[in-house]
Structure 1
């Protein structure tokens, strides 16, 4: 299994817009990408503009397919200016 984590820091003025867009992206990923098996969106209790994603794909190729999908491209373009920082980490599930 191919695990992806993403830490977003969202510009506070855009948090109310970012969250629904992120939730829609996660929902669509699970619905239309058969090899995306888990997509969790978490929000920090102490810093509300810190959003953490935990995603599981069957393979690296499945993740690359996710990155190439139309819904992901649209999401990325939509939120591009709302993001203060973004850190992506890749893991192999043990």
Structure 2
């Protein structure tokens, strides 16, 4: 596995009636991404302690190009179509790994 240099952090607010559907589908997406994409290093799914409709994804990739390639995969397209109507809000953060200079 390559060392990740890029991360994506996504916060979702899911419509309450779709929380269970989203949870099932996002775990499938995480599994597909890790299994099918050599440059997907990590795909964690978290939820808020206080609000079960808030989900947070933390994904790492070998580089930004690998994440951009991730968004063109058939499994991502299928996931994106499936969950779009369930999302009330979404915030995406693109992050670069900083090397500790010491």
Q: TM-score category by the smaller chain?
A: over 0.9
Query: In the alignment, which of 14, 17, 32 is matched to residue 13 of structure 1?
Result: 17
Which residue does the alignment assign to 2:63?
A: 59
For the residue of structure 2 that corresponds to 1:34, the secondary structure is coil
Which residue does the alignment assign to 1:75?
A: 79
Q: List gaps (5 residues or longer) in structure 1.
A: none
Q: CA shift at 1:89, angstroms?
A: 0.2
Paired residues in the alignment total 94
Whole-angstrom distance in 2 between the partners of 1:17 and 1:6? 18
Which residue does the alignment assign to 2:95?
A: 91
Cα deviation per residue 1:8-55 (whole Å; 9 max; x = unaligned)? 000000001110000000010000100000000001110001000000
Q: List gaps (5 residues or longer) in structure 2.
A: none
Higher Rg: 2
Q: Tell me how large the CA RMSD over aligned residues is.
A: 0.5
Q: Which consecutive segments of 4 or more residues in structure 1 shift more than 6 A?
A: none
Query: In the alignment, which of 21, 25, 34 is matched to residue 30 of structure 1?
Result: 34
- For normalisation by structure 1, the TM-score amounts to 0.98
Higher helix share: 1
